[in-house]
Amino acid sequence: MSSKYPVVLIAGDGIGPEVSDAVVEVLKAAGAPLEWISCDAGLAALGKGKDVMPEETLDAVKKHHVALKGPCTTPVGKGFTSVNVQLRKKLNLFAAIRPVRSLDGVPTRYEDVDLVIVRENTEGLYSGVENRITSNVVTTLKIATVEGTERIAKRAFEYVQKRGRKKLTVFHKANIMKMSDGLFLDSVAKLHKDFSDVPYDTQIIDAGCMKLVQDPTKFDVLLMENFYGDVVSDLAAGLVGGLGVVPGSNIGFEDAVFEAVHGSAPDIAGKGIANPLALLMSSVMMLNHMYEKYGDKQIHAAAESIKAAYNKALSDGEKTGDLGGSLGTQEFAKAVISRLS
């Protein structure tokens, strides 16, 4: 019999607890051998008198190395540093990997979208360094380092090579931000020497976005700095059915935190209608990561079974409201559970 593997669970805010509950139920029904270590972050932590990103939560991820995270809300304009920025920086989760794929049963303008966005997660405009220069002038610093740009370029090339993907396209604005985006491009060119079998090209981001919405099937793996990655992830989600269907991972050298691309969706929180699929897909990415790490076949079987079950549920027309269906969060989870092999 398999042992149980510890996973830190951060349920999050807004729709976070609803979608996390649904996902935990599906994982349990699929026989995933996991032991949940529940930790707080965001408003949930503040409500208990803790910091928005408590040290104990960071320590738990450092100890167990894997976490599943719901979306967290950072109170705006109250001096709090973003929960997500803190988590990604303090744990050095420098690569966000976000697969964006067309799904059977989710009709959209394009049928064969199969993109992966690799977003640098710790630098760029998300440095958190902002200054008031005068009463009328404020600045936000965009940071690019050799270390940060080289490690994300290496990770992106490795991803393309290891997964047998076709090519890497780098989105940038080095024509304007000659130094920061220029360094990003220089690092990609430098690292390409170690991955000369991986085709890569570059696109100025504005033209790249236009081409992406005109025909996303022309792209494969996209690499970009932090802010561009944030925006392009949501844009790409819109090509395949929205934020309810795009999963993600934040990966460093030691630790990995899996979470959907979407936020806490305060407009629908507490209504029981949020789509848990993006977090469920993120949990499948997590199981695959754990299978690579531990080699336990029970983990692999659970991942395969969940993936087949949600694909079947969607093609049977079992969908939440954001995808044109009528199921609530729990009902969709039950539809998946009833299709587990």
Interacting residue ranges for ligand NAD, rule: CB under 6 A: 15, 19, 71-74, 84, 243-244, 259, 262-268, 274-275, 278, 322
Instruction: Provide, rounded to whole angstroms, the least separation between the CB of residue 19 and ligand NAD.
Output: 6
H/E element holding 249?
strand 249-251
Q: Closest approach of Cβ 270 to ligand NAD, in Å?
A: 12
Bridge partners of residue 201, in order along the sequence: 169
Closest CB 263 distance from ligand NAD, rounded Å: 2
Report, in Å, the least distance between residue 89 CB and ligand NAD.
Answer: 14
Looking at the Cβ atoms of 33 and 244, the one nearer to ligand NAD is 244
Pick 30 or 245: Cβ nearer ligand NAD: 245
| Identity of the residue, 84 or 169, whose beta carbon is nearer to ligand NAD in the bound complex | 84
CA pair distance 292, 308, nearest whole angstrom: 19
Minimum CB–partner distance for residue 218 and ligand NAD (Å): 26
Closest to ligand NAD by CB, 53 or 115: 53
- Report how far residue 214's alpha carbon sits from residue 10's, in angstroms, rounded to the nearest whole number: 37
Cα separation of 151 and 154, whole Å?
5
Backbone angles phi, psi at 203, to 5 degrees: -140, 140
Which 8-state DSSP code applies to residue 216?
G
DSSP character string of 67-132: EEE------TTSSPPPHHHHHHHHTT--EEEEEEE--TT---S-S--EEEEEEE-SSBGGG--EEE
**Which residue in the shown chain puts its C-beta closest to ligand NAD?**
263
* 28/39 Cα distance (integer angstroms): 19
Q: Shortest distance, CB of residue 264 to ligand NAD, whole angstroms?
A: 4
Our CB check for ligand NAD shows the closer of 123 and 259 to be 259
Nearest-approach distance from CB 18 to ligand NAD, in angstroms: 9
Shorter beta-carbon distance to ligand NAD: residue 228 or 291: 228
State which residue, 84 or 298, has the beta carbon closest to ligand NAD: 84
- Nearer Cβ to ligand NAD, position 282 or 298? 282
* Range 88-92 contact pairs with CB under 8 angstroms and sequence separation of 24 or more: 88/121, 88/122, 88/250, 88/257, 89/122, 89/128, 90/53, 90/58, 91/58, 91/61, 91/62, 91/250, 91/252, 91/254, 91/255, 91/257, 92/122, 92/252, 92/253, 92/254, 92/255
Cβ 266 to ligand NAD, closest distance in Å?
A: 6
**DSSP percent split of the chain into helix, strand, coil, nearest 5:** 45, 20, 35
